[in-house]
């Protein structure tokens, strides 16, 4: 039996005062979705005063339905903590996926530092 190829997904974290940046690169899919969620949850837990979590998606090469599910789980965690979740630099394929599935409005974009729309109340997607 052969081992599957290593994941081509990476997450780089930079946390500052009130804002954390997660830079995503590679394929966000069934192999890497849990990794994104784990990193995001650890970041939220390590920085209880966080106001904004920014996911820089410029380096994403691919996202499947499991990757989208991971993004939605991160959204759920940030909404509970009343942390704004931003998708920065989403590639066109990700924009299409978010628009087609009707979830684009859950993710903030372009808000100035320190200002963001209110996340939806807990319990609502």
In a domain, 123, yes or no: no
pLDDT bracket for residue 114 (50, 70, 90):
very low
CATH number for the domain spanning 99: value is 3.30.750.24
In a domain, 45, yes or no: yes
**In the predicted model, what is the mean pLDDT of residues 77-91?**
97
Q: How many domains does the chain have?
A: 1
Please give the model's pTM, rounded to 2 decimal places.
0.82
* pLDDT exceeds cutoff 50 at 66: yes
In a domain, 42, yes or no: yes
Q: How do residues 28-64 score in pLDDT, each as one tens digit?
A: 999 999 999 999 999 999 999 999 999 999 999 999 9
In a domain, 49, yes or no: yes
In a domain, 115, yes or no: no
In a domain, 85, yes or no: yes
The 3-class SS string of the chain reads: CCCCCCCCCEEEEEECCCEEEEEEEEEECCCCHHHHHHHHHHHHHHCCCCCEEEEEEEEEEEECHHHHHHHHHHHHHHHHCCCEEEEECCCHHHHHHHHHHCCHHHCECCCCCCCCCCCCCCCCC
Q: Domain limits at 82? A: 10-106
* pLDDT exceeds cutoff 70 at 4: no
């Amino acid at each position: 039996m052969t081992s599957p190829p290593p994941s081509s997904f990476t997450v780089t974290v930079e946390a500052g005062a009130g804002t954390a940046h997660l830079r995503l690169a590679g394929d966000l899919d069934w192999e890497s979705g849990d990794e994104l969620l784990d990193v995001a949850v650890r970041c939220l837990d390590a920085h209880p005063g966080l106001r904004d979590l920014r996911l820089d998606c410029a380096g994403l090469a691919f996202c499947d339905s499991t990757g989208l599910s991971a993004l939605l789980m991160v959204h759920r965690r940030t909404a509970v903590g009343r942390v704004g979740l931003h998708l920065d630099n989403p590639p066109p394929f990700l924009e299409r996926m978010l628009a087609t599935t009707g979830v684009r409005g859950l993710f903030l974009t372009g808000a100035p530092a320190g200002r963001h729309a209110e996340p939806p109340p807990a319990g609502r997607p």
